[in-house]
Amino acid sequence: MEHQNLSRVQARSGEPEQENVRAPEDQSDLRPRFKLIFFTVTALTVLALMLSVLLAVLGGDSEQVRAASEACSTTYKMGFGAIVGLIGGKVA
């Protein structure tokens, strides 16, 4: 009798335990969130780039225009970095 119980315990210990931890292969719920973040960052980057170009072409020579142009320039540079980081993180 003890031998049967021992073999059951050994058989159970060889089986993987199922936990409520998501496997890395199952990322189906991550895709919509990733797409939302990626497209938001892309849209903000393109918007900042367009505003920077418009301010350079149509803006005057005032200090406020220079400050706004510099802010847009910094924003689209950070946006490009974020896009590269998101793509690199998704590939890895």
Query: Could you tell me if residue 28 is inside a domain?
Result: no
Using the predicted structure, report yes or no on whether residue 2 has a pLDDT greater than 60: no
Query: Could you tell me if residue 87 is inside a domain?
Result: yes
Amino acid 38: pLDDT: 93
Amino acid 84: pLDDT: 95
Q: Burial letters for 39-59: b for 16+ Cβ neighbours within 10 Å, e otherwise? A: eebeeebeebbebbeebeeee
- The rounded percent of the chain whose pLDDT value lies above 90 is 53
Number of domains comprising the chain: 1
**Which pTM value belongs to this model?**
0.63
Amino acid 30: pLDDT: 67
Query: Could you tell me if residue 48 is inside a domain?
Result: yes
Residue 86 domain boundaries: 41-92
Query: Could you tell me if residue 68 is inside a domain?
Result: yes
Query: Could you tell me if residue 11 is inside a domain?
Result: no
d(CA 91, CA 81): 15
Query: Could you tell me if residue 25 is inside a domain?
Result: no
Using the predicted structure, report yes or no on whether residue 27 has a pLDDT greater than 80: no
Amino acid 22: pLDDT: 56
Angle between helices 31-58 and 63-91 (to 10 degrees): 150
Show Cβ contacts of residue 70 under 8 Å, excluding neighbours closer than 6 positions. Answer: none
Tokens of 48: 């900042």
